[in-house]
Structure 1
């Protein structure tokens, strides 16, 4: 889905006029954001999603994207690379995911056994282990979806 389609769908329930008024912008600008802007004859305008994507392309910094994910009560999870099945057989990949889950449990156990609480530093370690596990699992699922283990 293109950025203009995402915005068009997003503002459809509330309405362009309401969104424009709440943002202090003109309705014509909101309408332009919801139109294609990817060719010479397109009449749309770069929208906030296009601009955020461009900031990421220029800087390589996912900070703004991660911030936006947190604002939506979520987290950014990087998709791992699609794996070459010759390099990592199915059984090895599933063992890797189980091992990473075990590492997450080790961090949780150490945090709780220490003093019965999880402080900010321990929560950060738990978050890092969780992100690593999600990335590995996503890589595995993507590889499966591409039919790599269907041979």
Structure 2
């Protein structure tokens, strides 16, 4: 979906006046965001600008920051390939990473308190598991488990050093 089309939908639920007031902009500027920038009076909107900032820098922290503002987390969709493999190794890897998370939590809570360092390790392990699980679900949808296994090995090495 194009950003201006999304903004057009948003303006059906949230008034342009409310947005303009909160952002200290004119109402006409907000309405122009909902028009195509290639036709008419449309202008580059904040969504396009954020996407352009990411495109220029290639720095995923831009996307992560936006997600964090809504108490979320960005999980990249894995690239698709057509090679297929058995599901068992991929399933075992997801279960293993989940067990690792449980182990990290159990170890951290063993003294009936969780330190900042332990909470950071829990977060790191959890974020890695979320990425792995998203990859697993995507690969299930595609039936492509060879790619999943290589992605999960790569992610495990990166995130849990």
Fold conserved between structures, TM > 0.5: yes
CA displacement at 1:54 relative to structure 2 = 1.0
Q: Deviations over 1:42-81 (max 9, x none)?
A: 5311111111111111112222322222221222223344
CA displacement at 1:84 relative to structure 2 = 5.3
Partner of 2:7: 7
* Higher normalized helix content (fraction of residues): 2
- Contact 1:83-1:140 within 8 A present in 2 as well: no
CA displacement at 1:22 relative to structure 2 = 2.2
* TM-score normalised by the chain length of structure 1: 0.83
Partner of 1:29: 29
Segments of structure 1 that go 5 or more residues without pairing to the other structure are none
Partner of 1:120: 116
- Aligned residues between the structures: 145
CA displacement at 1:148 relative to structure 2 = 4.2
Residues 124, 42 of structure 1: alpha-carbon distance in 2 compared, 3 angstrom cutoff: farther
Q: What value does the CA root-mean-square deviation take over the aligned residues?
A: 2.0
Partner of 2:58: 60
Segments of structure 2 that go 5 or more residues without pairing to the other structure are 146-161
Aligned mates of 1:63, 1:112 — CA distance in 2: 30
Following TM superposition, where does structure 1 have runs of at least 4 consecutive aligned residues deviating by more than 6 angstroms? none
* 1:130 and 2:126 matched: yes
CA displacement at 1:30 relative to structure 2 = 0.7
Partner of 1:108: 105
* TM-score normalised by the chain length of structure 2: 0.79
Aligned mates of 1:28, 1:35 — CA distance in 2: 11
